[in-house]
Each structure stands twice: as C-alpha cells, then as structure tokens.
Chain A
C-alpha cells in the first residue's frame, strides 16, 4: 500500500556543512510551486533524515551537500530509508558534484542530481516527477 501525498517532500542537509542557501532556496521554490516541504535544517544524520521521511510520509527526499561529502552521505540516506522500511521513497540530491560522481550516485540509487546552474523549473519538475513515480495505493 502506498499513497504518499503527491506534493509532500522533505528537504534536508546531511553532514556538517552549514551552507544552507541552496537548500532553503529549493524549499522556498517548492513551496511556491505548491509543495508541502518538511524542512529538517542542517547537520542531520542519514538515519534522522530517513526516520523523519517515514514519519512525515513524504513522497520524495531532497538532499543538499556542498562540502564534498556527498559520496558518503547521499547513498547513506538511501540505505537508511531502506532500513527504515521505505525503499520506495525517491532521493534527489544537489550540490557541488562533479560529473563522475553523478554517475556513481545514480548507481547508488539517487534518482536525480542537480548541480549549480540547474534552472529551478527543471528541479521542480523533477520533484514533481519523482513524487508521481511513487506507486499508487
């Protein structure tokens, strides 16, 4: 069973990096596009993000990391979601992420990666698409 609300997403920042301008911008833009955005703030562990995503029953999780720790942290969130019994919540990520890493991250189950300069409309559409992909109840 599963009908996560189609417009409910979680935006979080795993790791220690405190530069949340990007994450907040995405949160605000999603709000203005009609999403309900559960915002968890900075310095969250992958487990905390996963637990919050499950409780809040979001349709997608968005992560941001600018410190270069994305290769460790993004896949860790995917794993944590699996462990928390929510393997079908899609994870999207953004940040300063080199091309090679994008390939590896997608293999690790991150559905979309955005780098600086990606138009916000592209990002919003991607979230919308990710939410739609949730298996209907």
Chain B
C-alpha cells in the first residue's frame, strides 16, 4: 500500500492502473475525518487516541499526516508518527506522512489518492491530519466528510486568527488539553463565537488527548453527525465538492509538466503580456 501511494505521488505510469482498480464501494462507505488546528494543539495525540478507540472495535484505520515542506530546500521533517508509534506494528493501522512540497495544487490529488487507496484496502475510517495554516492545507480539508478543528488553551490569539478561515470549515470544535488552565474559558469563547450569526452553532467538545479522555464522546458525536450527513445528502454534496477539487488538481498536476516544457521550448520574447501568451498556449493545446 505504501508503495502504491508513492507511485501515485511520483506520478508513475503504473499509478493509473492502481487507481483504476480501486474498490469504489469501500471508498464511498469509508468515513474521511479531517483534523486540523494550530501546531502543538494536540492533533497527533488526538489522532492517536482516536485510533486506540477505533481499534477496540477492530476497525482498520488509515492516517494521512501532512506536514509543510521547507520553502527553501523542498525537504521536510515529517514527525507526526512519533505520537502514534504505539500502533506502529499494528497491521491494521496504516499511516502515511506527506509533505506539502511547496506546490499549489497537487496535494489534494495525492492526498486524495492516498485516502482512496487506504479505503479500498479496507480502512473504514481515514484521518487526514494537517496544520491549519496555508491554502494547500485548507484545500486538503475539503476532502474530509467531517472536519474537526483542534484548539488548546494558551496558544495565544489563535482564535482570532482562526475565526475567519478554519472556524467556518469545522464541523466540530475540539478544545483539547482540557486538563490545562484556560480550557473552560476557551470553550466558552468558542461557543459564543459560533453562536453568533448561525442558526446551527458548531458543537464544542472537550478532550484530554494525552489521557484519552473525552474521545469516546467525540467519536459518538462524529458518528451522529456523519449519519445525519449521510441522510440529508450533505455528505454526497461534500464528496462532490471534494471530487471536483481533486479532478481540478489532477488537471493542473497533469498539465503543469507539459505546459512547462512547452513554455521553455517556445523561447518566448521577454517583451509582451504574459497573460496573453498563456492564453495562446492553452488554446493551441
């Protein structure tokens, strides 16, 4: 499975065969859970707790953990695994770390492919963990059926910063580190913020990820919400959105190398409007 994901990630020819042979039924049945939030909020620890909980009912689980690449070298240190090493030798916990690789699109394509491969291999829940900063991270979250935003007390003015973007995409707000001072205040603040201007306020959950507290309740809420979304057609709507986003990403992914070589090949004059030149190239393609 790891190999299959790499092949897709690297754009190998054989990727197509793999992706075409996936089990669509399993993919549409699986629940895709997005977990996002600021660095250090406890996303990985929470993911670890969720895995432990789900493993009790013997479910197979996939995790896609995305970390930012260094903008300079393109390299990355992928460290989310550290928090989940207790499941390392469990055959039914499949984890894949990914770097954003500084690309604009593409990440949705590869992360999406990883999710599909995992689902098709029998993972009934797939968790996508990503730091909630940057556009490409936000895009990945659109792949999820249900999105959790993990916050913790003492992370500074994060709520303010988050309000605009992440609070909107989140289905459930998780106040992690409930054992720490300020957790209750944070939860109340969040409730106040979400109640404003919304008929259906986002739910707020409290957890202590390090001790596994609150995770069972959280999973219950996720389940309830997921079934509701399945019934109401919301889930289908999101899958449609994700699907279109993935297709778009693949378009860009496939076009980029061709276009790039085309542009280089043409040795275009330095003068003149780049936008018009682009249009010309695209028309000829």
Contact = CB atoms under 8 A, between A and B. Distances in A.
Direct contact of A and B (CB under 8 A): yes
B75 interface: yes
Interface in A4-40: 4-5, 7-8, 27-28, 30-40
Nearest to A8: B6
Given A40-B82, A41-B82, A137-B12, A1 B3 contact: yes
B109 to A, nearest CB: 16
Interface in B1-45: 1-3, 5-7, 9-10, 12, 14
A36 B99 contact: yes
A55 B10 contact: no
Contacts of A34: 73-75
Interface string B245-259: 000000000000000
Interface string A50-62: 0110111100000
Interface residues of A, number: 32
Nearest to A39: B79
B95 interface: yes
B57 to A, nearest CB: 22
Given A31-B77, A34-B75, A37-B77, A55 B6 contact: no
Nearest to B63: A55
B2 A54 contact: yes
Contact of B97 (A1, A33, A38): A38
A38 B9 contact: no
A125 interface: no
B89 interface: yes
A128 to B, nearest CB: 12
Contacts of B228: none
Interface string A69-90: 0000000000000000000000
Given A3-B6, A137-B12, A55 B95 contact: yes
Interface majority SS on A: helix, strand, loop or mixed?
mixed
Contacts of B9: 5
A31 B76 contact: yes
A40 B5 CA distance: 20
A106 interface: no
Interface majority SS on B: helix, strand, loop or mixed?
mixed
B224 interface: no
Q: Which of B69, B76, B99 has the most CB of A within 10 A?
A: B76
A30 B75 contact: yes
Contact of B3 (A2, A32, A39): A2
B199 to A, nearest CB: 43
B77 A27 contact: yes
Given A5-B10, A54-B2, A57-B2, A31 B88 contact: no
Contacts of A112: none
Interface string B129-161: 000000000000000000000000000000000
Nearest to B5: A57
B271 interface: no
A132 interface: no
B243 interface: no
Nearest to B99: A36
B81 interface: yes
A32 B6 contact: no
Given A38-B97, A57-B2, 18 more contacts: A2-B3, A3-B3, A4-B3, A5-B9, A5-B10, A31-B70, A31-B73, A31-B76, A32-B75, A33-B73, A36-B78, A38-B78, A40-B82, A41-B81, A41-B85, A44-B85, A48-B88, A56-B96
Interface of A: 1-5, 7-8, 27-28, 30-41, 44-45, 47-48, 51-52, 54-57, 137
Across the A-B interface, give the 6 residue pairs with the lowest CB-CB distance, nearest first.
Answer: A57-B2, A31-B75, A48-B88, A41-B82, A57-B6, A34-B75
